[in-house]
Amino acid sequence: MDQRRFKRFLRDLKVTYTVLSKVDSTPFEFGDSVTLDISRTGLALLLDEPIPVPILLQLQLRVPTRPYGLFVLGKSVYCSPVEEIGMYRVGIKFVGILPPDLEQVLDEVQTTNDRVKVEGELDLWKE
């Protein structure tokens, strides 16, 4: 049973992420991804490489209805392989002070929630 407090929206938003801390590595690693889903408390990403759990990340969400990206901090809470496509589903929990317009952005995402799973498509929207 899903015990989440807030509804997740199946939405593929572009995300640029920066890994802020990692032992035995350069201090910063960058990458681009898309969200699989997003809620008021976190999101899920699809990545080419696994990342440590937990690890702190800075995320820039690119929302189609806005001319600028929305920056949030998050902590990885799981990293699961998606063997069918050789990628990783990563759960991110938002941490720290969230941007004041996050609620408005999520309302916009909800009203434009046009992500529809087509027949035969791999179901990546389950944890």
In the predicted model, is pLDDT for residue 1 greater than 80? Answer: no
The whole-number pLDDT of residue 9 equals: 56
In the predicted model, is pLDDT for residue 19 greater than 60? Answer: yes
- Residues 6 or more apart in contact with residue 110 via CB below 8 angstroms: 9
Mean pLDDT across the stretch 99-120? 66
**Structural domains in the chain, sorted by start:** 14-111 (2.40.10.220)
CA distance 71 to 85: 28
Mean pLDDT across the stretch 101-119? 65
DSSP 9: B
Which value, to the nearest 10 degrees, does the dihedral of the CA atoms of residues 58, 64, 66, 71 take?
0
The whole-number pLDDT of residue 125 equals: 44
The whole-number pLDDT of residue 115 equals: 47
Mean pLDDT score of the chain: 79
In the predicted model, is pLDDT for residue 8 greater than 90? Answer: no
More confident of the two residues 74 and 5: 74
- Residues 6 or more apart in contact with residue 10 via CB below 8 angstroms: 36, 37, 113, 115, 117, 125
The whole-number pLDDT of residue 120 equals: 45
